[in-house]
Amino acid sequence: MAEASNPVPGMTRDLAATAEAPDPVRGGYLATRDRVETYFDRTATKTWERLTSDAPVSGIRATVRAGRDAMRDVILGQLPADLTGTRILDAGCGTGALAFEMAARGADVTGVDISPQLIDIARKRTPNDLHHKLTFRAGDMLNPRLGSFDHVVAMDSLIYYTAADIAAILQGLAPRLRTNMIFTVAPRTPLLMAMFRIGKLFPRSDRSPTMVPHSPARLASALTKGKLRDIERVTSGFYISNALEFRP
Ligand SMILES: C[S@@+](CC[C@H](N)C(=O)[O-])C[C@H]1O[C@@H](n2cnc3c(N)ncnc32)[C@H](O)[C@@H]1O
């Protein structure tokens, strides 16, 4: 795969990350993706590394970690128990926890993330007996050079995108997706909607990317093809996330 230059010294991107967005939403998608990359690759890399490790974390973060553990189980529960012979894309894989679990169940997993730093952590954390089942790539999840997959999972990696962007992402992946994609969104609860509105009052440059809450019904109506199914919501302290299934 071609390498593109990366702003972080010593790190390289495996996949060129400029031209993958579907045309209708290109501007918005790329602007959000760039903000997400800055956040995870620079501002919050250490925090995210710790949250996704076994190291002790404070009370609020512990509730988030517990919620995320529960969500990982929900997503795994949607996949066949034996994944031998399947190819799975972990889209926005972060430090790799879900990818490791799917590889341990027999899948050949490609983990892709826009943050080269998180991909580096995922590679370092790969258990010795799973190296042959895992490929980690730094770059855009929509890059067609990643290939075709039986399943795609995207745990909390689409939570910053608008409904139009998510619809375009699903439709962009659909031709290379054989069975289904399991992904999560932030649900439209009164608390998350209030946080979203307050977040929009602050300048975009100096804070983390804002989550965009969604209702499954509105997301479904943004799709021109394929079916959406509401799976389950996980709430744990400050963590709240809703799992959905897309079938092309
Ligand atoms: C909240 S983190 C979740 C990481 C991982 N899925 C997990 O649950 O631990 C969101 C991740 O999505 C990645 N991401 C967001 N948009 C992306 C895109 N368009 N292409 C690749 N990665 C993306 C971010 O870099 C970040 O690592």
In a domain, 11, yes or no: no
In a domain, 165, yes or no: yes
In a domain, 16, yes or no: no
Report pLDDT for 238: 86
pLDDT along the chain (248 residues), means of 10: 33 51 64 93 93 92 95 98 98 98 98 98 98 98 97 97 94 96 93 76 64 92 94 93 97
Gap between the Cα atoms of 148 and 110, Å rounded: 10
In a domain, 161, yes or no: yes
Q: How far is the CA of 141 from the centre of ligand 1 (A)?
A: 9
Range of the domain at 89: 28-247
Beta bridge partners of residue 6, listed in sequence order: none
In a domain, 219, yes or no: yes
In a domain, 223, yes or no: yes
**Buried (b) or exposed (e) across 106-136, using 16+ Cβ within 10 A?**
ebbbbbbbbbbbbbbbbbebbeeebeebbbb
Into how many domains does the chain fold?
A: 1
Report pLDDT for 19: 47
Gap between the Cα atoms of 1 and 132, Å rounded: 18
Report pLDDT for 210: 84
- Pocket residues: Cβ below 6 A from ligand 1: 33, 36-37, 40, 52, 92-94, 97, 112-115, 118, 140-141, 155-157
Report pLDDT for 216: 93
In a domain, 125, yes or no: yes
Instruction: Return the closest-CA partner of residue 87 out of 134, 51, 142.
Output: 134
CATH of the domain at 100: 3.40.50.150
Report pLDDT for 4: 35
**Which residue intervals of the chain are DSSP H helices?**
26-38, 45-51, 59-77, 97-104, 116-125, 163-173, 190-199, 216-222
In a domain, 65, yes or no: yes
pTM over 0.85: yes
Q: How far is the CA of 95 from the centre of ligand 1 (A)?
A: 9
How many degrees, rounded to 5, is the angle at CA 247 between CA 119 and CA 140? Answer: 25
* Minimum-distance ligand 1 atom for the alpha carbon of 155: 6
* 35, 61, 114, 239: residue to mutate for ligand 1 pocket, most atoms within 8 A of CB: 114
Tell me the CB-side half-sphere exposure of residue 147, using CA atoms within 13 A: 16
